[in-house]
Structure 1
Amino acid sequence: MLANRRVALVTTGMTLDAEAEAADAAGGLLGNLAGSIQRFYLPGRLNYSELSAAHRNVMRGLITVVKMKPRKNANERSMLDSYGKDVDRVDFARLDPIVEWVEAQQS
Structure 2
Amino acid sequence: MASQAMKITLERIALFQFTPAHCAQARAMLGWSVEELSRESGVSVEAIQRFEAEQDVRDVTRLTLAYRFEAEGLVFFPGFAPGRGMNLRGCTPNPMERADFAMVE
TM-score bucket of the superposed structures, by smaller chain: under 0.3
TM-score normalized by the length of structure 2: 0.25
Q: Larger strand proportion, structure 1 or 2? A: 1
For the pair shown, the structure with the greater C-alpha radius of gyration is: 1
